[in-house]
Structure 1
Amino acid sequence: MSVTIGHPVPEFTAAATGDQQVSLSDYRGRQLVIYFYPKDSTPGCTTEGGDFRDRKADFADANTVILGVSRDGLRAHENFKAKQGFNFELISDKDEALCQLFDVIKLKKLYGKEHLGIERSTFLIDRDGNLAREWRKVKVKGHVEEVLEAARELNAAS
C-alpha cells in the first residue's frame, strides 16, 4: 500500500531527532512537507536540507512544517542536523516503513553497480492529512522554491 494524491496518508509514528516520536496526527491543522533523501552528509542532501532550512520561516508563514527522512540512524541524523544548523527534525527510517509507504525505494545505479536506495522525493500533506502533491526524482536546484509555492497555494485555498 502506498500513498495516493487526494487520499488520506495512513497514520504513522517514527523516531526523529531531538529524542522525539513524530506521528502524522501531530500535524493536523497544519500542512506537512516530508522530504526523502538518500544519505546524511552527502553533497546533494546537504544542499537540499540547507535550502529547506533557509526557507523554514517562509514555510511556517504558509502553515507548513518540514520533516526530512532517510534510512540513516538517529546519531548520524543528530550530527548532520547540528553540523548544518537544520531547524527542523529528521526522521530515521531504518526499517524503511515510511520509505515503503511513500514508495521511494528504487533500484539505482552507482558506478555501474545496482542497489536499492531512496529516490529523492518530496510530499506535501494538507492540514486534514491528505496527500496534496508529490515530487519524485527530485533535482535539488530550485526544488524547495517549487514546494514552497505549492504550500502557499494550498494554504491560501484552505
Structure 2
Amino acid sequence: MPSVELNQPIPEFEAEATGEQTVRPSDLRGKNVVIYFYPKDNTPGCTTEGQDFRDRMADFEAQDTVIFGVSRDGLRAHENFRAKHEFPFHLISDKSEQLCNLFDVIKLKKLYGKEHMGIERSTFLIDKDGVLRQEWRGVKVPGHVDEVLEATKAL
C-alpha cells in the first residue's frame, strides 16, 4: 500500500469507527479533515489531546472541518473513551495497522528503557479535495490543537 505524501491526494481506504461508522476519504470530500494518531486510550497525554480537540470543536466546525482520532485500540475501548470524555468526534480503530502504515506513524519507541514499536503521536490535515496539506509528527500535546486550528483556517 502506498503511503501519504504532502500535497497529494490521500489514497482510498476503509476504516471502522465509533458510532458504527465506516470512514472513507471519498465520503469526506467537501470538508477539511483532521486525522490525529495517538498511542492509547485513557492515557494522560492521549486524554489531554482528545480533550483539547473536544474543547475547540466548535472552532473546527466553523472551518467546515471534521476530526478523527486513531489508535490501535478496539471499538469497545474507543466507545468507552469517547463517552467518558464526551468527545464530539469519532475514533477509528486500527488494530490491523492499515492506517498507521498508510500514514507511516509506527515507530520504534522507548518506554522505561525498553524498546517497542508504537504509534508516534502525529496529526494530518486534509483539504476539501482530499489532498494532504499539512502533517505534524512527534507531536507534543500542549498548544498542538491551536496550531492545527490555525493551519485549518489558512486553507
TM bin (shorter chain): over 0.9
Give the AA of the match of 1:47: T
Q: TM-score, with normalisation over the residues of structure 2?
A: 0.98
Which ranges in structure 1 are unaligned for 5 or more consecutive residues?
none
SS of equivalent residue, structure 1 residue 106: strand
Count of aligned residue pairs for this structure pair: 154
Q: Which residue is 2:146 aligned to? A: 145
Q: Which residue is 1:69 aligned to? A: 70
Q: TM-score, with normalisation over the residues of structure 1?
A: 0.97
Which ranges in structure 2 are unaligned for 5 or more consecutive residues?
none
The 2-side partners of 1:128 and 1:20 are apart by 21
Give the deviation of 1:127 after TM superposition: 0.5
Identity across aligned pairs (percent)? 72
How do residues 75-90 of structure 1 correspond to structure 2 at under 5 angstroms?
75-90=76-91
Give the AA of the match of 2:91: L
Q: Which runs of 4+ in 1 moved over 2 A?
A: none
Give the deviation of 1:20 after TM superposition: 1.1
Q: Which residue is 2:122 aligned to? A: 121
Q: Which residue is 2:58 aligned to? A: 57
How do residues 25-64 of structure 1 correspond to structure 2 at under 5 angstroms?
25-64=26-65
Give the AA of the match of 2:111: L
Give the deviation of 1:135 after TM superposition: 0.2
